[in-house]
Structures are given as C-alpha cells and as structure tokens.
Amino acid sequence: MTRTIPPDVVQSAAGRPPRRTGAKPRTSGSALGRSDALAGARSGLSPARLAAAVAAPMTCRQMDGVIRTLRRAAPRWRPTAVAEVAAGRPDPFRVLTACLLSLRTQDGTTREASARLFRIADTPAAILATRASRLARLIFPVGFYRSKARTLRAVSRVILDRFGGRVPDDVDVLTTLPGVGRKTANLVVTIGFGKPGICVDTHVHRISNRLGFVRTRTPEETEWALRAKLARRHWIDYNDLLVAFGQNVCRPLSPHCSVCPVSGPCHRVGVTRAR
C-alpha cells in the first residue's frame, strides 16, 4: 500500500495577507487595524478571533527585547538542519528539498539525508534523472522516505515544466507544488530567498503561546496572529530562532526555565513543570 506524506503542519487555502511595508510596529496587540482584519478574513479567521489571538499579555516592545536576547544566545545552539543547508549554499531548491525531507523527521536525520542526496542530485534536472528507488535509498531513514522520493520527482517536474527550473519565491505559488504547505512555503521564502514570511511549526506555535505573545489554538492561527502582531523586521529569522530555542531550552515538557535567558518576561503560559 502506498503511504502518503502527511499534510504540512500549516496547511491553508487562504491567500497571503496584504503587505504592510513601512508600517510602524504596534506596541500592543490589543487593537487591529483594517489591514489586519482583512488578513484575518483571508485566513479564515473572524475579526473577533484574530483580535483575541493577538490580545495576549506580552507586548510587541517586550517581544523585541525577547528576540534581541535570543539572538545573543543563539550562537550557543546548533542551527536547524534547513538553516545549515541554506548556510552551506543559499540555493532555494536545496532549501525546498531539505524542507520536504525534514517533515516528520528529526534534524539529525534530515542533515545526513540531505548531505547524501545533494552529493548525487541537487537540481530539479538531476532529481528527475535519478530513479525514485535510488532517491528513496539516499534519503532513508527520513519519515515516509518512499513517498518523499516520489514527491521530490513530482516537485522537480513541476518546477521544470511550469517555472523554467526556478523555484517560485511566492508563498501562494509555492503551495501549488506537490507536498508543499504553508509551513514549507514560508520557510523557503524566508531562508531560501531572504524575503519576509512567517513559518510556524510546533516549536513556533508552542513558544509564541508560552511566552504570552499570542493566544492561538493551532499553528495556522499562530501564523496569522504573528502576521498581524509581530514586527515585520523579525519575520525572516523568527522560525529558526524559536526552533533552536525550543530544541535546546524551551522544551515541550519540563522546559529549562532555570537557565532560560528570557525567563523574566516570559508568562509561562501552560507550564506546569519546569527545570
């Protein structure tokens, strides 16, 4: 029986929100502007739900301080596997490929599988020239490796046929590729192209709520709440910063609050046990 890749963590049929280039960051998430309300409508969230999501106790100014502190601490933590791929060679197709491999897979496995694959094939044409069975062997033991091998070939075919071999740099267009949801699309846009986007995985969803910056129930809600509240200058590295923080300090169960560099401003929402 053929196994299919589970849907991306953040799947949405909604379009991207209107750009707010040049807008001044708010110091509080208590009020929504017209563009934010429109973003909520386009995401499927009602204006009331979006307003409740951003009306969390931590202000934008406090979050600015949290991010500055985390950036100072980040050199002590190992970057994510996808960030390391981008640092080695900032090629959007390699970033997209690493993102697809990373779904439901630990970072250590993703690093090794990406390295093996890229030694053989790291372009859409090279992927298509490699049989799916060989791709599967190269990327094993990533989760759903056989399905992912077929997905890599399908994505490569679309990129060659529809986009002239170039990875699109738009979130909405990227989500039309096989196996690509909003989480992957946002990560490719931010890490692969250096353009603003907000990639929300389980770490970003959990920590944004635990800090008290948003009040959301799902990663999808978190993405749209962050688009409405988080200063745009933080969008590009927000995912990589919070994922590394979550893997090393702010663990899902029993976080290391005693050594946390942002324990002061953190509201510890939902934390019942800590170290």
User: Which of helix, strand or coil describes residue 80?
Assistant: coil
Kindly state the tokens that stand for 136: 């599967």
How many helices (H) and strands (E) are present in the chain, helices listed first? 15, 0
Catalytic site includes residue 91: no
CB atoms within 10 A of CB 218: 11
Q: What is the torsion angle, in degrees rounded to the nearest 10, for the CA atoms of residue 60, residue 228, residue 204 and residue 213?
A: 40
Catalytic site includes residue 195: no
Chain centre to alpha carbon of residue 179: 15
CB atoms within 10 A of CB 155: 23
Query: Which one of the listed residues 36, 107, 148, 183 is annotated catalytic?
Result: 183
Query: Which one of the listed residues 201, 229, 237, 240 is annotated catalytic?
Result: 201
Residue 96's nearest CA partner among 159, 4, 7, 21 is 159
For tokens 């090279």, what's the residue? 126
Q: What count of Cα atoms within 13 Å lies in the side-chain half-sphere of residue 128?
A: 12
CB atoms within 10 A of CB 129: 12
User: Which of helix, strand or coil describes residue 154?
Assistant: helix
Helix (H) or strand (E) holding 121: none
DSSP 101: H
φ and ψ of 269, to 5 deg: -65, 125
Residue 223's nearest CA partner among 195, 190, 252, 201 is 201
Residue 152's nearest CA partner among 1, 5, 3 is 5
Which residues carry out catalysis? 183, 201
